[in-house]
Amino acid sequence: MIDAHDLRFSISDPISRDRITTRNLQISIDGEPIWPMVGFAEALLEVQIDDLLAYLAEHWKPLLLRQTYPAALTPHGPSQLRAYCNKRWDEVPAEVAEREEDAVFAFEDAHDLSRAFAGLFDLPSFWLFREGNHYLIESQERQWTLPYDVGVAALTDLGDRLTEILGAAGDKWDPLLNEWHQRSEGEGAQLLAWATGIDTEESRTLIREGILAEPADFAEVANDNDELRIAARMAGALPLEQIREILLIARDYPKNDAEELGRLARDCSDELRGERWVGKKRFVQGEVAARFVRDWLGIGLDVPIDLHAVFDRLSITLRTADVEPETLDGLAIWGASHGPGVFLNLASRRVSDAEATVPNEDPALRVTLAHELCHLLLDGDHAVSAVDILKSRMPVGLEQRAKSFAGELLLPSRTAAYRWEAMGRPHDREGVRHVLLDLEADFQVPRAVSTWKLDHGLQFWGEDLSGLLSSLSRYR
């Protein structure tokens, strides 16, 4: 994944005087040509610009509002969606596969610019898909992440330039120009449906019940700064009654100032934007952030972390209850009207102690707490509400970062390695098991975390016990 800062669509002069709409197109990121070919400035594609404007006008809403994939899947990028679906369609009824395939075709038509040009086949794809405050761009097996406002500005500028060209060529394209000018119009429930991934009728129901606010206009819903709408998107693949229950939980959280959490979030984000870590993989960012948080809070790497004390210090409201579905693990919410807060579902399948009432004492709940803390710290600038459920719609990269953060915050890799050394550097099954039991007791983590962090930590010693550790943990 490459962090990008600029997106440009280059449109040439007409190919000839009598072919005003026939132009050469090239797309570049940060000055490097990436489409139709990566790295070749001479590579241009002859296109019809009215086709390109028609594509932008028709798909403006999904390009700017949609942040969910069809078929309740979350691939690593839009280019992988069909491969994910092909595997799924072998296992579901034919009518389900047919319905989902229609949705996938519609998704591909909207988010792959190469489909804009009728009659041109075998073009490399150019994928553009929103993930929170960024666009994910894919082309020819490369990925970039681009600030959302930069992407919107580039698309808007492209559409306006095409409109100017076609408008000067006569009134033949007036209907198309009108479509472009009206691209942001739409009923509030329909705009909400695009932004949340919830069916339009279900959106109307939630608006009518007063659970979600109807967007005032396109710009408001595109801002995506309503924490309840984001929570609805995260839970949007669930049945309506379960979406409603999750939203009612989120809506019940009070608004706290949480100034210290805000400072920590800003400092932690600044650390990740530093030269050493920018562009690093998400799991690396998660570990870096966890070590930074321990240091910022004055908690040594060899000290078990008291998450209740941390939440109290950062003014994060913590609540627990038994709710459906049992696939709901936790909810983190922080925005203009609610939070910061974390909800833990005691009915979650991950809870190791069915009688647990104190989350800080249950290893599985501690992992969820730490996971949600990461979302508050690193994704809070987008008022992210993270619903960790089966069919979750949280971008894969953000979930990888939060998982990595949680493990490192609870049990730093170096600490696990030093404990192994202090216990005689065992290589036999029983000796390694005693190290794991020792770590689990002291740091209150489940076996999956202790084996993962010890395995990672042993890299500092040039040791590879991955096979043995996998045999000691079912879930590694």
CA-to-CA dists, residue 25 to 17, 42, 49, 135, 156, angstroms: 17, 11, 9, 21, 16
- Flag whether 6 is in a domain: yes
Q: Which of 130, 160, 181 is the last residue of a domain?
A: 181
Strand, helix or coil for residue 346: coil
Task: Specify the pLDDT at position 230.
Answer: 87
Task: Specify the pLDDT at position 181.
Answer: 97
Task: Specify the pLDDT at position 277.
Answer: 77
- Flag whether 254 is in a domain: no
Token reading at 88: 């799924």
- Flag whether 249 is in a domain: no
Q: Based on the domain organization, do 32 and 73 belong to the same domain?
A: yes
What total number of domains does the chain contain? 4
Distance CA 450, CA 438 (A): 9
Q: Based on the domain organization, do 299 and 399 belong to the same domain?
A: yes
Q: Based on the domain organization, do 177 and 80 belong to the same domain?
A: yes
Pairing of strands 142-147, 2-3: parallel
Q: Based on the domain organization, do 367 and 382 belong to the same domain?
A: yes
Strand, helix or coil for residue 329: coil
E strand or H helix at 351, and its extent? Answer: none
Q: Based on the domain organization, do 285 and 211 belong to the same domain?
A: no
Q: Which residue has the higher pLDDT, 36 or 120?
A: 36
Q: Based on the domain organization, do 400 and 424 belong to the same domain?
A: no
pLDDT digits (tens, 9 = 90+) for 406-455: 999 999 999 999 999 999 999 999 999 999 999 999 999 999 999 999 99
Task: Specify the pLDDT at position 238.
Answer: 82
Q: Based on the domain organization, do 428 and 401 belong to the same domain?
A: no
pLDDT digits (tens, 9 = 90+) for 31-46: 999 999 988 888 899 9
Q: Based on the domain organization, do 148 and 10 belong to the same domain?
A: yes
Strand, helix or coil for residue 51: helix
Stretch among 172-186, 362-376, 442-456 having the lowest mean pLDDT? 362-376
- Flag whether 245 is in a domain: no
Of the pLDDT bands very low, low, confident and very high (cuts 50, 70, 90), residue 16 is confident
- Flag whether 305 is in a domain: yes
Task: Specify the pLDDT at position 474.
Answer: 66
Task: Specify the pLDDT at position 90.
Answer: 85
Tell me which residue has tokens 């950062």: 314
pLDDT digits (tens, 9 = 90+) for 318-362: 988 887 777 778 888 888 888 899 988 887 766 655 555 556 678
Give the phi and the psi of residue 77 in degrees, each rounded to 5: 180, 160
- Flag whether 285 is in a domain: yes
Q: What percent of the chain has pLDDT over 90?
A: 57
Q: Which of 406, 431, 448 is the last residue of a domain?
A: 406
pLDDT digits (tens, 9 = 90+) for 287-318: 999 999 999 999 999 999 999 999 999 999 99
Distance CA 41, CA 101 (A): 36
- Flag whether 247 is in a domain: no
| Residues pairing with 146 in the sheet | 135
Distance CA 39, CA 33 (A): 5
Task: Specify the pLDDT at position 265.
Answer: 93
pLDDT digits (tens, 9 = 90+) for 374-412: 989 988 655 444 444 445 566 777 788 899 999 999 999
Q: Based on the domain organization, do 301 and 336 belong to the same domain?
A: yes
Mean per-residue pLDDT for 150-163?
97
Alpha helices in 411-457 (DSSP H): 413-422, 429-443, 447-457
Task: Specify the pLDDT at position 398.
Answer: 78
Q: CB atoms < 10 A from the CB of 115, how many?
A: 18
Q: Based on the domain organization, do 226 and 127 belong to the same domain?
A: no
Q: Based on the domain organization, do 173 and 26 belong to the same domain?
A: yes
Terminal Cα-to-Cα distance of the chain (whole angstroms): 25
Contact between residue 465 and residue 432 where contact means Cβ atoms under 8 Å apart: yes
- Flag whether 251 is in a domain: no
Token reading at 282: 């998400």
Q: Based on the domain organization, do 201 and 176 belong to the same domain?
A: no
Residue 441, domain extent = 413-471
Mean per-residue pLDDT for 120-139?
91
Q: Which of 173, 208, 240 is the last residue of a domain?
A: 240
Measured over all CA atoms, what is the biggest interatomic distance in the chain, rounded to whole angstroms? 83
